């Protein structure tokens, strides 16, 4: 049972760590009564890893496990402008604030979801930027080293006040908004993710490509040298399937003899 000192009002789901312990958050309690991150073993031993103080956030949402074995999360408040934060915490309790929201890049973030490309994605309930008169929320991408990119600004027509995201089997992101849309009573949206996640030049000039898509689904990989040409002028260079985790990689030896090379993926 929580006592307040070790946290109060846990509401988000637990996350299983790579060490076999569970990790979670409490909305309140801790040293400043602003929430905690905790670890609990399967025999019930609870350890408070982080107590939020306001400066590093307040009111944490749920956690997401990264590919690096660390946990990532958001707080609804706190940070530089009391607009919320994104943080990383290790299994031994080392916490790092990665982002402090300012309002212009969003405020009151919801929980994170791990994308097929290894980056995290999330939403903010509000937020605005130059050229936008709205304050209706965002969808953002976050790398594990703390680089935040705003991907969507909600305008009311496409929704307002987004809730959390979920990663679909097609590796696209889906979510809802609390209001906005035709009747101003909410929307459901899909964010189509790029199929290519990285391209790297190899010794000898070949290119190594990787990407994400629907698990076990077939795809065709096409290459071309001029984007202005019709698709019928492109050359199919591979036919394969995404693996069981929804990823693929391919080395294009033909890139070594071309000054420019463009790629497309088609999914039947």
SS (HEC) of 107-176: EEECCCEECCCCCEEEEEEECCCCCCCCCCCEEEEECCCCCEEEEEECCECCEEEEEEEEECCCCCEEEE
Q: For the CA atoms of 195, 200, 201, 203, what is the dihedral angle to 10 degrees?
A: -120
Q: What is the mean pLDDT of residues 161-181?
A: 94
Where exactly are the structural domains of the chain?
A: 15-191, 196-266
The confidence score (pLDDT) of residue 131 equals 47
The confidence score (pLDDT) of residue 212 equals 85
The confidence score (pLDDT) of residue 134 equals 62
- Domain 196-266's class? mainly beta
Q: Is pLDDT above 90 for 266?
A: no
Q: Is pLDDT above 70 for 252?
A: yes
The confidence score (pLDDT) of residue 30 equals 96
Q: Is pLDDT above 60 for 68?
A: yes
What value does the mean pLDDT of the chain take?
Answer: 92
The confidence score (pLDDT) of residue 267 equals 80
The confidence score (pLDDT) of residue 117 equals 85
Question: CA-CA distances (angstroms) from residue 148 to 12, 196, 242?
Answer: 23, 19, 28
State the pLDDT confidence band at 36, using cuts at 50, 70 and 90.
Answer: very high
Question: CA-CA distances (angstroms) from residue 133 to 27, 101, 222?
Answer: 32, 18, 41
**CATH architecture of residue range(s) 15-191:** 7 Propeller (2.130)
Lowest mean pLDDT segment, chosen from 25-39, 94-108, 240-254: 240-254
Q: Is pLDDT above 50 for 41?
A: yes
pLDDT digits (tens, 9 = 90+) for 110-155: 999 999 888 999 999 998 765 444 689 999 999 999 999 999 999 9
Question: Residue 266 is inside which H or E element, if any?
Answer: strand 262-266
Lowest mean pLDDT segment, chosen from 14-28, 36-50, 230-244: 230-244
Q: How much is the pTM? A: 0.83
């Amino acid at each position: 049972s929580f006592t307040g000192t070790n946290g109060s009002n846990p509401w988000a789901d637990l996350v299983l760590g790579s060490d076999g312990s569970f990790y979670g958050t409490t909305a309140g309690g801790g040293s400043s009564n602003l929430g905690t991150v905790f670890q609990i073993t399967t025999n019930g031993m609870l350890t408070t890893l982080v107590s939020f103080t306001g400066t590093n956030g307040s009111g944490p949402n749920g956690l997401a496990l990264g590919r690096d074995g660390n946990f990532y999360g958001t707080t609804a408040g706190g940070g530089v402008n009391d607009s919320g934060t994104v943080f990383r915490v290790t299994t031994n309790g080392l916490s790092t604030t990665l982002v402090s929201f300012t309002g212009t890049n969003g405020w009151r973030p919801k929980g994170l979801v791990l994308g097929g490309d290894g980056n995290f994605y999330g939403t903010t309930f509000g937020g605005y930027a130059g050229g936008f008169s709205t304050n209706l929320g965002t969808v953002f991408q976050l790398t594990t080293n703390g680089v935040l990119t705003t991907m969507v600004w909600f305008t009311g027509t496409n929704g307002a006040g987004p809730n959390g995201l979920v990663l679909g089997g097609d590796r696209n992101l889906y979510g809802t908004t609390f209001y906005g849309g035709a009747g101003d009573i909410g929307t459901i949206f899909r964010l189509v993710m790029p199929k290519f996640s990285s391209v790297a030049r190899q010794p000898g000039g070949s290119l190594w490509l990787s990407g994400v898509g629907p698990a076990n689904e077939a795809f065709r990989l096409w290459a071309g040298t001029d984007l202005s040409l019709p698709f019928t002028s492109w050359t199919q260079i591979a036919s394969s399937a995404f693996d069981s985790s929804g990823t693929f990689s391919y080395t294009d030896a033909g890139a070594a003899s071309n000054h420019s090379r463009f790629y497309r993926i088609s999914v039947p």
